[in-house]
Structure formats: C-alpha cells, structure tokens
Amino acid sequence: MTIRSPIVLLHTDAPEAARAIVAGAHPDLTVHTCDSYADLPAMLTETGAEVVYSVRFAGTPGFPRAALLDSGTLRWISVGGSGTDHLAPWDPEWVTVTNAAGAAADMMAEYALGAMLAFSLDLRGFARAQAERRWTAGRVTPIEGRTLLILGLGQTGQAVARRARAMGMTVLGVRARPQPTNHVDEVHGMEALPALWPRADFVLVSVPLLPSTRGLVGTDAFAAMKPGAVLIDVSRGGVCDEPALIAALQDGPLKGAALDVFATEPLPADHPLWAMENVILTPHCSSVYDGWAEKSVAMFAENLDRYRRGAALHNIVDPERGY
C-alpha cells in the first residue's frame, strides 16, 4: 500500500497546539501553520499545500474563501467546525470539503436542554426578583410531557433528541430526507412544517444555512407557532428572519428565545435583541468548550490517516445539502 505524504497547512488561531496533535499522529509529515486570514493566501502559494485544516476563528467577514478555492494545489479542506456556508459554493470534483460534525454535538445538546429548562423554570424571572430582593409567588413548569420540534436531525439534532426523550418529552423532527431516527417520535420532510409549528412547545433550529433554509423560520412560521412557544437557534444567522423574530417576541406568540447565532456577528451594540428580557443571547459559543479544539484537530488527524491511505474520508460535505 502506498502511503501518501501531502503538504499540510493548519489554519487556526491555536497553531502550535494543533501542530502538536497532527505531528503526534503523523511524525513523518512536514506541517505548516497560519494564524491569520490575511496571511493565508501567501502561505498557500509558498507551501503548495494539498491539505488544509481551517477554522473560521475570526468570523465570516474577511474569511479568505477565494484563496482556498482558487488554489491550484489544494485538494482537501477540512473545516474545523460543522458549518461550511462560508465556503459555499465549491466544486466537489475539484476540492473535497469535510467538517468536524459531532465534535460539539453533545455540548450543543446541553446548551439546548439548558435553554429549555431556563425558560420552563423561569430562571431569568427569579434572577430579576433576587436582584430586587423581592419574594415572589414562585411557579415552575415541567418540560416532561412537552413537545420539541427539531429542525435538522444531524448529529446535534439527534443528541438533543436523546436528551429530550430522557426528560419525557415528545420529539418531532424534520430532515431533508426523512427516515426513522432514534429518539424521535415522528420524522417529517420540510414540507410538513406548516402543520408542525402549532404542535411545538419548543422549536430547535439546527440546520445548515443554504439557499433553501435562508429565512426558513420567518413571519409565517412564527404566526403558526403555539402561544408561549420558545425558540432555540444554534444553526447559522440567516435561517431565522430576525425582524420577524423580534416581532414575534414583542407581540407574540413567542414566550422567549435562546439565540446563539445572528445575521451579523458580532451582534451590533444597538441591536434590539440585546435589551429584550425574554431573550437569552450568547455569542455563537454553544459549541465552544474546553477540549473542543483538540477534539476537532484529532478528528482531522484521524481523517488524514485515511487520506494518506487512499481510503474514503469521513464527514464529506455535499455543497448542495450543506452537510
């Protein structure tokens, strides 16, 4: 068996830690690093890299997409996260794109579960009362027996479904290609959403950003939702229509929302979502935890072994489907 020795470039804001992991698994390879967007084009030209591990560590604006896709030597881009919308579109006949789907699925599932519990237990309301030293007639609500609608049954959606079922919830799910899915009571295609919105107490958005999903959760969707529903968005900014979301939070039917992604990131300081008491707002960090970066690079190192042996890669992304 011929073992290939590709030129590898690690594009990350923690290059030495990443290099140590890759070098430990592939000590015979020369591994280059780049820790900025601005320097990547020159590094690609200088090294003639065939394989790049790339993290979108400084956001999407300014990401050197053209440098990667126009490289004459690059054949495989391993995205350090799960989203690949910052690279789309690409020609899969010319370059293979993989992602690190699954590296943060369990953490994102805990985020989603925590958001559901925060609203059902009214933790923000109790925190306000505590800050005012005000004793209230407290009341909490169980999530057991409630219905969760999951948009996107990838690894994150399935991890949430497993936890939700363990908490006694009914789980509905939609996916592009419906098929029986563990821990999901009903699986539907996207065309079923108009009939599903009114059934859900909680809606989790966990789909990639594609032309077909941009604005998927908009005015019509919010109008059809059950009064008192809670939205949790861990997908990508643009899947939810933000003006429609704000209207639904102000005038109903939404009880609240936990939002980790936004159309513009960082979220502008004057954005109305900052001041909304029924919103939990986090800075696109539901997948960020101690050890995430190391797990992502380790997944790349394992896939690199497959690449060198000529075996099929794991987590190849279809540019049309986004996963």
**Catalytic choice (188, 265, 271, 294):** 265
Catalytic site includes residue 188: no
Catalytic site includes residue 128: no
- Helix and strand numbers, DSSP H then E, in the chain: 10, 12
Rounded-to-integer distance, Cα 173 and Cα 190, Å: 9
The Cβ of residue 65 has, within 10 Å, a number of other Cβ atoms equal to: 16
DSSP 272-287: GGGG-TTEEE--S-TT
- Provide the token pair at 314: 């794991």
- Provide the token pair at 124: 């923000």
Name the packing angle between helices 155-166 and 105-120 (round to 10°): 40
Catalytic site includes residue 124: no
Instruction: Measure the CA angle with vertex 275, ends 238 and 62; round to 5°.
Output: 40
* Bridge partners of residue 231, in order along the sequence: 203, 257
* Bridge partners of residue 316, in order along the sequence: 98
Residue 220 has phi, psi (to 5 degrees) of -65, -40
- Provide the token pair at 206: 């966990």
Q: Which residues are catalytic?
A: 236, 265, 284
